[in-house]
Structure 1
Amino acid sequence: MIVMDDEPLALVNMEKKLKEFNSIEVIKSFTTAKDLLAEGPSLDFQVAFLDVEMPGMNGLEIARLLKEWNKNIFIVFVTAYRDYAVQAFEIHSIDYLLKPISKARLETTINRIQELLHLENKSTPLQIRNKPELTIQCFGGFVVLHNNKAVHWRTLKTKELFAFLFSNLNNHVPRDTIIDSLWVDTEFKKARVQLHTTVSYLRTTLSALGYSEVIQYANGCYILQLEDFQCDAHDLEHILNANMETAKIDVEKAEALIQSYQGEYMAALDYPWITSKANFMNNRFTLLLHDLIEHYTAIHDVKKREQILLLTIEHNPYSDKIIQQLIKHYIEVDNRACAVKVYNTFKNTLLADLGILPEQETTELFNAISVENFNL
């Protein structure tokens, strides 16, 4: 690693602290940007400890330069001031140390660096992976797995931020929109610092999994650009989009998605921002079920049609239209007892939960069954 501070005494003190850790090596120290520009490009280093307040080029500018040399260099800022925390995290620094630095606090940073370097050396490049190592389950909750193991989030907000950005994948999201969504009850200046801290944690987590530089910040917006992953919500979109283009549903993929279905989109998560997206995705899942019902009806597979109709009722328990389809299905297969039972259960559910009765068309369909049963 390299260390840079314009104050020689502070530089010597920092080197002394770092040399107490046998696992790291300080290969060069700098007090001026001129010396760094002259020697830096020829040095082989993975970590840079930078003072922020320096004449000429400050630590933030030096960090940007180092990132241009090598985007994988880990940056640690060292300063006596808190004011630069936001800018520091925007440069993708892995830590921000306030002087005076205790040995325990520095040890935390060194451990983090060692962990990142270890994972970086172990990881397989994305381009040669045979299958996605990252699996994201959105239906039934929000579960993120890496090589079939749950991803550890440093804080709950780190997980929520990833869920939020993933819900807006490949879209530029204004910083203030994120703050308003995730830190609605927090004073803005404090929320902004918390956002940048959380972004830093998230970048570190994703980088350790082999997904570096996937979160970018520009023009006041964040964007998550993620590739090489598997997600049930994205599988759903791919199936529906392909169906629209070809007018033919991929039954095998649709059935596999349904078998893995765990519940509504990000269900049971107390994220106030999720309602609109959840409603949209739940409607998309209902559309998939309708497409399958039409497919099984067309090929006269009444058994699978019944299975999908029952699942659709679970997904939309107050839908008259779906109840009508299920009643007509039972009439077609000559099972009027089940048709009557379905109607009565539906009626009782509506009365108990919503205080309403089934639509007139549903009631008329039931009455027609009742008359036939009476005539029989």
Structure 2
Amino acid sequence: MKVILVDDERLALIGLQKLLEKEVSGIQIVASYMNPTEVTAGVLLHRPDVVFLDIHMPEIDGMDLGRQIQKAVPGTEIIFVTSYDQYAVHAFELQALDYVMKPVQKERLNQTLQRVREKLALRREQRMMNTEVPLICCFNQISFKLPGKEPQVAKWRTSKAQELFAYLLHHRNQVIYRGALLDLLWPGAEEEKTAHQLYTTMYHVRQTLKTCGMDMISIHSAHLEAGYKLVLGDALLDSEQWEREMKAWREVKPETVEAYEQAVYRYKGTYLGRYDYMWAEPERERLRYLWLYHMRQLNLHYLKQGQKDRAVENIQQIQQMLPDDEESYFMLMKLYDEMDHKLGVEEQYRLLTSRMEQELGIPISEEVQQWYNDWKRGITKAGQHTR
């Protein structure tokens, strides 16, 4: 969430900035202004999600400045901060998102920011549903979503055309030389015999994009067709958007957990997971671990709040996505033990041994085996018998 702060009082400006930076995750303060005449230019430059704006300033009325901001960058949320409550009605007439009294209190600020997050999350959902710009979906399989339409899976002329597009998309904005593409699609074949096939396959890729209404995606030929570069144009990539959103979060808090969940759950599956492209595996693994990190952050929050059922659901989702993740089985075994769910412990141990030893051919870790043996004997961590 990008934020701009405006207040002609230096101490008030510094105080609000410190409160935001200390208490709130996912906040980026891109600018702060004491001079209101600089604000409109700053909003145009930084395109913030929200502006915290003092109403009572000597050079310009905060209400008028709020109107200027909304006119300059429609959709910018305004939160008025003031010592005078008589402006409240006028603030909401301006469609300000909220109205906060000075001195700003931590609890009140969290309530306000939760409203901001909910509104921004709703706006993102609407963009994803209505797709104001074309969207390229890369989770699980490649599909295209045009504004106001449902996603469509492209019908590629050949599997070579599909992989060629996927590879260029994966390396977007980079020149990929012809020799590398020939080795990718026709390994071991002589260049003279496959150069024309590459040209034909590239033609089919361009035609498929045109048929799908995605001709804003351009594939440029390098000098003498020595290589090709794919440029997205106005289109967005869902995996890229998701990663950018997740990296903006620092921690989970009770007032932000719902928005955090919505962001994490936009991970719809493995990156290009429907395709057996070995060159995509490093990116798959990188995004999987980013998702896993945030799922575990959610899990820690649920356990801290005593929400064991939510924690169980969370870990089960991890298992569905990553069935070979030993830690998820071990976490559930210990959690089921705390919940006195003996059958659950046994089931998780059976599933783990089945997948690790039978399917992967590797033993489970000594730590898990020792814990399970102690549990069977009814020994607690303190070494006391419980059964």
**Where does structure 2 lack aligned partners over 5 or more consecutive residues?**
1-129, 380-384
2:142 maps to what in 1? Answer: 142
Residue 257 of structure 1 deviates from its aligned partner by 6.3
1:211 maps to what in 2? Answer: 215
- Deviations for 1:199-253, whole angstroms, at most 9, x for unmatched residues? 233234434515336222335442222154454422431233212xx44597556
Structure 1 contact 132–229 (Cα < 8 Å) conserved: no
Q: CA 1:300 to 1:193, structure 2 compared with 1: closer, same or farther past 3 Å? A: farther
Within the candidate set 308, 321, 327, 1:321 is matched to: 327
1:149-298 alignment runs, 5 A limit: 149-207=152-210, 209-212=213-216, 214-218=218-222, 220-229=226-235, 231-243=237-249, 246-247=250-251, 252=258, 255-256=261-262, 263-298=269-304
Q: CA 1:133 to 1:318, structure 2 compared with 1: closer, same or farther past 3 Å? A: same
Structure 2 contact 139–273 (Cα < 8 Å) conserved: yes
Aligned residues: 246
Q: CA 1:317 to 1:192, structure 2 compared with 1: closer, same or farther past 3 Å? A: same
| Bigger CA radius of gyration | 1
CA distance in 2, matches of 1:303, 1:218: 56
Structure 1 contact 133–229 (Cα < 8 Å) conserved: yes
CA distance in 2, matches of 1:290, 1:191: 47
* 1:358 has 2:364 as partner: yes
1:131 maps to what in 2? Answer: 131
Structure 2 contact 252–298 (Cα < 8 Å) conserved: no
1:3-22 alignment runs, 5 A limit: none
Q: CA 1:328 to 1:263, structure 2 compared with 1: closer, same or farther past 3 Å? A: same
Q: Percent identity?
A: 24
1:112 maps to what in 2? Answer: none
TM-score normalised by length of structure 2? 0.54
Structure 1 contact 165–224 (Cα < 8 Å) conserved: yes
Residue 170 of structure 1 deviates from its aligned partner by 2.9
Determine helix, strand or coil for the equivalent of 1:318. coil
- Deviations for 1:143-196, whole angstroms, at most 9, x for unmatched residues? 334432333434332222221122223333333222222222432123222222
Residue 361 of structure 1 deviates from its aligned partner by 0.9
Structure 1 contact 323–362 (Cα < 8 Å) conserved: no
TM-score normalised by length of structure 1? 0.55
Structure 1 contact 297–305 (Cα < 8 Å) conserved: yes
Q: CA 1:294 to 1:169, structure 2 compared with 1: closer, same or farther past 3 Å? A: farther
